[in-house]
Amino acid sequence: MRKIDIFDTTLRDGEQAAGINLNTAEKVEIARQLEKLGVTIIEAGFPASSPGDFEAVQRIAKLVKNSTVTGLARAMKSDIDRSWEALRVAEQPHLHIFLATSPIHMKDKLMKTPDQVVDIAVESVKYARKKFPLVQWSAEDAFRSDPEFLVRIINQVIAAGATTINVPDTVGYATPAEYGALFKYLKENVTGIDNVKLSAHCHDDLGMATANTIAAIENGADQVEGTINGLGERAGNVALEEIAVALHIRKDVYGFETALNLHEIKRTSQLVSQLTGVVIQPNKAVVGKNAFAHESGIHQDGMLKNRETYEIITPELIGATVEPLALGKHSGRHAFSDRAISMGFELSDEKINEAFIEFKSLADRKKEITENDLFVLFTDQQIQSADTPVYELKNVQVQYGTDNVPTATVSVITPSGEETSRAASGSGSVEAIFNTLEELVEGKIHILDYRVTSIGKGRDALGEAVINLSVNDEESTGRDIAQDVLEATAKAYLNAINRHLISEDGQVKKTSVFS
């Protein structure tokens, strides 16, 4: 079987999706899980775009050993130099350079002639190869580019030293037949194409990213690029879990394989969903909560007789096994610690103790602690910053009645260490909380998005709140959990404010939303 390399861009292209705001600790945690998943290359970020992205790429490059770590750069010396500073510590430094090649991009965005674009591409690759042993060059909007021009520019960047050529369908416009034909054309016409990796990068604007990616593989692609859960700008990127499982289940047809550890798919998907705050649609292929659910009586009858009547993918394949017995308030620390290890978490004794305290507190209020509850507890401990939050919630109380004006009273610990309280009303309980917190942080806050979901099942399930807001035109996303969704809402709001005030490396950069 031909092996297909997996290039994961969850931390770069995936994080560009609206409403996603990961800090460095969260990016590192996702990178560690991607390494466990077995991805070939992790695109950790865009080092030149911000100090936070630089810090995250550098930390991931130092930490990850079993996957290649790369960063994105424009075809500019300053971007390449900045990327080298971040990636020089990696086991095998790798750079990803992109430059648009379609007529509309060259004319209206770059305002360059085709000859100028070729010169820029060649010079940037030559310069990058002086530092990096591995250089991937991407023709942005390749599918809408002139095929003859693509052959011309790819010939020259290969001669300049590019080791991988990426041919993206940047706007998700291709059909499988067309995208596959483009790869076949390049394989037949580019000089030296067999000496480099040929990569596919598909977006899902027309819902064909998975089919397009497989068409590219069938026509010579050696590497596929995508994200976990299909995150990304607009309709997102191809979902890597779909590609990996499709190639595995239908290896009789395709004859390709990846090096992914398929048993880590569920955990990776769950972690990315939790940290990004992006809920996975229930009917999402492979990882949706209904992916293995059978409601129809006919289906259930068939499943009882033979699972293969309606189940082509087993939950065990992706690590979605039957949950072990739930822990309760009488469970001991040893059983709790063993469960953390069995779930793949690596926590210090101090972190286990802190998580155990949270577990006991939750167990006093909740009949059973499920695997989903534990996943949230362990994940929060694993990425928890040692820094004290700028604002900390002490108490929230809401008075509500159908014939009364909802009023919220909230107490917080302020940056000065003092406890202060405010009260405000609103048209509903949530708006009352938002109005009160806005007075406490003394800033003009705009709520861009807000949602609450349950973790697990039952009337005593934990509620997770995710809030995307803007402070002085800067967007920030906060999330938190509690058994009471109003408490979770207040904590998520303050989490978003704290993210605005704390830099990505965990240091307080501001003490006020006006700073």
Q: Quick one: pLDDT at residue 177?
A: 98
Q: Quick one: pLDDT at residue 385?
A: 53
Contact 177, 149 (CB under 8 A): no
Q: Quick one: pLDDT at residue 416?
A: 84
Quick count: other Cβ atoms within 10 Å of Cβ 287?
25
Which value, to the nearest 10 degrees, does the dihedral of the CA atoms of residues 99, 104, 110, 113 take? 90
What does the alpha-carbon distance between residue 353 and residue 80 come to, in Å, rounded to a whole number? 44
What does the alpha-carbon distance between residue 108 and residue 149 come to, in Å, rounded to a whole number? 17
- Nearest Cα to Cα of residue 80 among 155, 136, 26: 136
Q: What is the DSSP letter of 404?
A: S
CA angle, corner 18, sides to 17 and 23, nearest 5? Answer: 75
CATH code for 2-276?
A: 3.20.20.70
pLDDT tens for each residue of the chain, 515 residues long: 899 999 999 999 999 998 888 999 999 999 999 999 999 999 999 999 999 899 999 999 999 999 999 999 999 999 999 999 999 999 999 999 999 999 999 999 999 999 999 999 999 999 999 999 999 999 999 999 999 999 999 999 999 999 999 999 999 999 999 999 999 999 999 999 999 999 999 999 999 999 999 999 999 999 999 999 999 999 999 999 999 999 999 999 999 999 999 999 999 999 999 999 898 998 999 999 888 765 545 444 554 566 667 678 888 999 887 556 567 777 788 888 888 888 888 888 888 888 888 888 888 877 777 788 888 888 888 776 544 568 999 999 999 988 889 999 999 998 888 999 999 999 999 999 999 999 999 878 999 999 998 887 778 888 999 999 998 888 899 999 998 999 999 999 999 999 888 865 556 767 677 66
Give the largest CA-CA distance in the chain. Answer: 76
Sign of the alpha-carbon dihedral angle for 145, 147, 149, 150: positive
Q: Quick one: pLDDT at residue 298?
A: 47
Angle between helices 114-129 and 77-87 (to 10 degrees): 30
Quick count: other Cβ atoms within 10 Å of Cβ 342?
9
Structure tokens, 216: 């590219």
Q: Quick one: pLDDT at residue 48?
A: 97
Chain region(s) in the chain for CATH 3.30.160.270? 392-501
Q: Quick one: pLDDT at residue 307?
A: 65
3-state secondary structure of 119: helix
Cα–Cα separations (whole angstroms), residue 477 to 17, 120, 128, 448 = 12, 37, 35, 10
Contact 120, 160 (CB under 8 A): no
What does the alpha-carbon distance between residue 206 and residue 202 come to, in Å, rounded to a whole number? 11
Chain region(s) in the chain for CATH 3.20.20.70? 2-276
First to last CA, the chain: 57
Q: Quick one: pLDDT at residue 291?
A: 83
What does the alpha-carbon distance between residue 67 and residue 94 come to, in Å, rounded to a whole number? 11
CATH code for 392-501?
A: 3.30.160.270
Q: Quick one: pLDDT at residue 374?
A: 85
- Beta-carbon contacts of 304 under 8 Å, excluding residues fewer than 6 positions away, are none
Cα–Cα separations (whole angstroms), residue 374 to 337, 344, 484 = 11, 12, 17
Distance of CA 186 to the CA centre of its chain: 31
Q: Quick one: pLDDT at residue 94?
A: 98
Flag whether the pTM goes above 0.85.
Answer: yes
